[in-house]
Amino acid sequence: MPREITAFSNPLIKRVRQLREKRHRKEEGLFLAEGLRILTEAREAGRLPEFLFFARDNAHHPLVRALVADTEAAGGDAIETNADILSKLSGKDNPGAVVGVYPEFGPALDDLDRSTAPIWLVAERLRDPGNLGTILRTGDATGAGGLILIDDCVDPFSVEAVRASMGALFTVPVVRTSWDAFQPWLRSGPGQLVGLSLDTDHDYQVPRYDAPTFLLTGNEAQGMPDFMAAECDLLVKIPMLGKADSLNAAVATAVMAYEVLNQQRCG
């Protein structure tokens, strides 16, 4: 049976609230996810929280009941609370019906099987959690095998990135690695590395992309370094017909991913 916590001074509430900070997430190996849709996506992907907080006003919602039952069956702790506590945990004035605390997860680079998907997303020094979450959603939508984060990227388990992913964090494998590890791994098997670049005349719709295609998106402000661009099998550019010189990193990744997907669908 769920227990009840309604006091802000409760040690567990203080502990969970600290997970909004990267240092505490790293120390505990835990992260926060908030909202009924995201937690349901996680449950359907086979991931259940160690701690599940839910508002008593939503206790009889069928999805909340399913989350409570499955969390407890897996040995987790379901905790009934109120909207004020949920707001304190999530950092939102209008919190969702549930907040979950999950152990961090993710495969190592060597665990990936590139033959399982024709599209893979790669991002280097991605700094914006909203972009990371949106790229994860694109990966889920296009059937990408995973997202490979190169070098100093934003934490995929930050509250903002998890929220922006809308549950895709639980469905798209995320690997954090370095360029020095990624480059030899990539060349140890099949795979075409395609970089999105402003410094090329190759229109993104002209080439034929070979599976598996690894789409490399550079840093939002600086783009990818020259040495990474030199390692790409192909650099392509999305036409810009207005005054802006480039698309948002997450939007550009989505445009490219769907071009690759459409080519594969059309044979």
* Structural domain boundaries, residue 44: 3-103
Which are the contacts of 58, defined by CB distance < 8 A and separation ≥ 6? 36, 64, 97, 98
Question: How much is the pLDDT for 2?
Answer: 76
For the domain that residue 203 is a member of, what is the CATH number? 3.40.1280.10
The answer to whether residues 89 and 141 belong to one domain is no
pTM for the full predicted model: 0.93
Q: In what order do the strands lie in the sheet with 192-196?
A: 174-177, 147-150, 119-124, 213-217, 192-196, 234-236
Which residues, in sequence order, are bridge partners of residue 14?
none
The last residue of a domain, from among 47, 69, 103: 103
The answer to whether residues 124 and 99 belong to one domain is no
Query: Is pLDDT above 70 for 17?
Result: yes
Question: How much is the pLDDT for 240?
Answer: 81
The answer to whether residues 223 and 116 belong to one domain is yes
Q: Left (φ > 0), alpha (ψ -120 to 50) or beta: where does 151 sit?
A: left
Phi–psi pair at 147, nearest 5 degrees:
-115, 125
Confidence of residue 267 (pLDDT cuts 50, 70, 90): low
pLDDT single digits (tens) 60-84: 999 999 999 999 999 999 999 998 9
pLDDT single digits (tens) 166-221: 999 999 999 999 999 999 999 999 999 999 998 898 999 999 999 999 999 999 88
The answer to whether residues 119 and 62 belong to one domain is no
Q: Count up the domains in the chain and report the number.
A: 2
Q: Which tokens is 141 given?
A: 């939508």
DSSP letter for each residue of 176-194:
EE-HHHHHHHHHTS--EEE
Residue whose pair of structure tokens reads 């969390």 in the numeric block: 71
The answer to whether residues 82 and 128 belong to one domain is no
The answer to whether residues 24 and 138 belong to one domain is no
For the domain that residue 35 is a member of, what is the CATH number? 3.30.1330.30
The last residue of a domain, from among 103, 128, 162: 103
The answer to whether residues 129 and 248 belong to one domain is yes
pLDDT single digits (tens) 115-142: 999 999 999 999 999 999 999 999 999 9
The last residue of a domain, from among 41, 69, 103: 103
Which residues, in sequence order, are bridge partners of residue 98?
54
